[in-house]
């Protein structure tokens, strides 16, 4: 093999794009320790912090998405796109990648477009059951499109599609180990005899979920459950006061997600693609509350793909008043919890990262 393989990876904006990109890089680095890696992200987005923390170099582009309504930001979009295409072209000329990988997010568009112009092989990793505009456009020219759901021939050329699943953190594969569960109870200061509810609103937080949890704190107390509540860094100052309550543990962000999953009996979560893939592997009873405010309402489509198979409960934001009844029914029905758990485990694709990297190897001729 060529000793200095150069691998360019672009993905960001949210943890749902960043963590799959890092997982792919980690597997490639494990197979090819001599390879060189460079990430490309959007300036001022969380990848500029998370990628260096994972041990990789990153360059930032001046790029952001299109807003749904007419704003000054929208008028700036063509200028930002042109600037990003020029800068991505410069990065590619200097780094000379042998392959370019995109996991979604604003920066992956100009980066993979510039790579394609230079005739560099490209691979897209599409996490959602309904792709965003960027990946739909990139998929026409990409060499390979790795997906996590069936029936994506509507959006991508069928000869390029490979169903791999979404990369997840390797640490999640061992969450059912007894020692990990005990370590989780200790870390989060949990009582052994109480059921634990894990609430996840994504890395930044989810306003509607946070409001729902706060409103139902007396109800949770009646149900004799304890909460690990990840409210998001945007909302932590507003909700940290509840951390003083017994059986309520409020976090801006949870770094040791494997331990949070290990501790949980029931999970309440948004339905971003990475979260859904992780929760299939975790295999705990889950209530999905998808965000309706994302492109093409893809979170609802992700959650529906799971709930249609009786593997999770889908609760839409406009139905939140039914939450107490739904939750109480679930917490009292051990059989329902067990069937949700078994059904969601059947949808897991735990070898996704390996399979994606196998496709990268084919593009590299290795």
**Mean pLDDT along residues 53-62:** 93
Let me know whether 174 and 296 are in one domain.
yes
203 is in an annotated binding site: yes
CB 178 within 8 A of CB 364: no
Residue 189 located in a structural domain: yes
Taking only the tens place, the pLDDT of each residue in 285-314 is 999 999 998 877 889 999 999 999 999 999
Q: Is residue 1 part of a domain?
A: no
Query: Which whole number is the average pLDDT over 276-286?
Result: 95
User: 83 lies in a domain?
Assistant: yes
Q: Taking the model in full, what pTM does it have?
A: 0.82
169 is in an annotated binding site: yes
Query: Rounded to the nearest 5°, which phi and psi values hold at 155?
Result: -115, -25
205 shares its domain with 255: yes
Is a pLDDT exceeding 90 seen at residue 360?
Answer: yes
**Which pLDDT belongs to residue 216?**
97
Residue 102 annotated as binding site? no
74, pLDDT greater than 70: no
User: What is the per-residue pLDDT for 73?
Assistant: 64
Nearest Cα residue to 5 out of 71, 73, 70, 95: 95
In a domain, 217, yes or no: yes
Helices and strands (H, E) in the chain, number of each type: 15, 13
Instruction: Decide if 92 is inside a domain.
Output: yes
On whether both 158 and 273 belong to a single domain, the answer is no
**pLDDT of the residue at 1:** 45
Q: Both 200 and 321 in a single domain? A: yes
Instruction: Quote the domain boundaries for residue 16.
Output: 6-167+350-364
Structure tokens of 66? Answer: 């299109």
15 annotated as ligand-binding: yes
**pLDDT tens for each residue of 168-219:** 877 888 887 788 999 999 999 999 999 999 999 877 789 999 999 999 999 9
Asked if 115 and 91 touch (Cβ cutoff 8 Å), the reply is no
Does the annotation place 120 within a ligand binding site? no
On whether the CB atoms of residues 254 and 238 are closer than 8 A, the answer is: no
Task: Looking at the structure, tell me whether residues 20 and 156 fall in a common domain.
Answer: yes
Place 154 in a pLDDT band, splitting at 50, 70 and 90.
very high
Q: Which CATH number covers residue 99?
A: 3.40.50.2000
Quick check: 66 pLDDT over 60? no
Residue 109, marked binder: no
Is the same domain home to 12 and 81?
Answer: yes
Strand intervals (E) in the chain: 6-10, 36-42, 58-61, 99-102, 122-126, 144-147, 161-163, 195-200, 225-230, 248-251, 266-269, 286-288, 313-314
Average pLDDT, the chain: 91
Would you give the distance in Å from CA 157 to the centre of its chain?
24
- Tell me: do 181 and 39 sit in the same domain: no
Does 16 carry a binding-site annotation?
yes
- Does 302 lie in the same domain as 341? yes
pLDDT exceeds cutoff 90 at 222: yes
Contact 267, 200 (CB under 8 A): yes
In the chain, the percentage of residues whose pLDDT exceeds 70 is 96
Instruction: Domain count for the chain, please give it.
Output: 2
Kindly tell me if the per-residue pLDDT of 51 is higher than 80.
Answer: yes
Q: Could you tell me if 156 and 200 lie in one domain?
A: no
Do residues 340 and 257 both lie within one domain? yes
Strands of 43-194 (E only): list them: 58-61, 99-102, 122-126, 144-147, 161-163
Tell me, yes or no, whether 177 and 132 share the same domain: no
Region 226-232 average pLDDT: 96
**Is the same domain home to 328 and 184?**
yes
């Amino acid at each position: 093999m060529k000793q200095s393989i150069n691998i360019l990876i672009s993905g960001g904006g949210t943890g749902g794009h960043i963590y799959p990109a890092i997982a792919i890089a980690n597997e490639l680095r494990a197979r090819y320790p001599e390879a060189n890696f460079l990430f490309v992200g959007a300036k001022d987005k969380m990848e500029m912090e998370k990628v260096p923390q994972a041990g990789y170099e990153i360059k930032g582009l001046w790029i952001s998405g299109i807003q749904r309504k007419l704003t000054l930001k929208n008028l700036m979009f063509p200028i930002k796109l042109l600037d990003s295409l020029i800068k991505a072209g410069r990065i590619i000329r200097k780094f000379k990648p042998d392959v370019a990988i995109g996991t979604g997010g604003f920066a992956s568009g100009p980066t993979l477009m510039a790579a394609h112009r230079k005739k560099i092989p490209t691979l897209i990793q599409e996490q959602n059951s309904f792709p965003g505009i960027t990946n739909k456009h990139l998929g026409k020219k990409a060499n390979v499109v790795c997906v996590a759901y069936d029936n994506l021939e509507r959006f991508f050329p069928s000869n390029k599609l490979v169903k791999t699943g979404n990369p997840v953190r390797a640490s999640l594969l061992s969450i059912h180990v007894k020692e990990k569960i005990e370590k989780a109870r200790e870390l989060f200061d949990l009582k052994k005899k109480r059921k634990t509810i894990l609430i996840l609103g994504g890395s930044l937080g989810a306003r509607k979920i946070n409001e729902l949890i706060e409103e139902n704190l007396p109800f949770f107390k009646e149900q004799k459950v304890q909460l690990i509540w990840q409210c998001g860094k945007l909302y932590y100052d507003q909700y940290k006061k509840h951390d003083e309550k017994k059986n309520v543990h409020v976090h801006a962000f949870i770094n040791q997600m494997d331990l949070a999953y290990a501790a949980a009996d029931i999970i309440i979560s948004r339905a971003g693609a990475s979260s859904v893939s992780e929760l299939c592997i975790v295999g705990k009873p889950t209530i999905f509350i998808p965000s309706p405010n994302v492109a093409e309402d893809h979170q609802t489509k992700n959650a529906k793909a799971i709930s249609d198979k009786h593997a999770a409960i889908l609760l839409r934001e406009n139905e939140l008043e039914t939450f107490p009844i739904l939750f109480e029914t679930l917490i009292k029905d051990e059989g329902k919890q067990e069937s949700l758990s078994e059904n969601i485990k059947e949808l897991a694709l735990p070898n996704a990262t390996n399979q994606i990297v196998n496709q990268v190897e084919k593009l590299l001729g290795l």
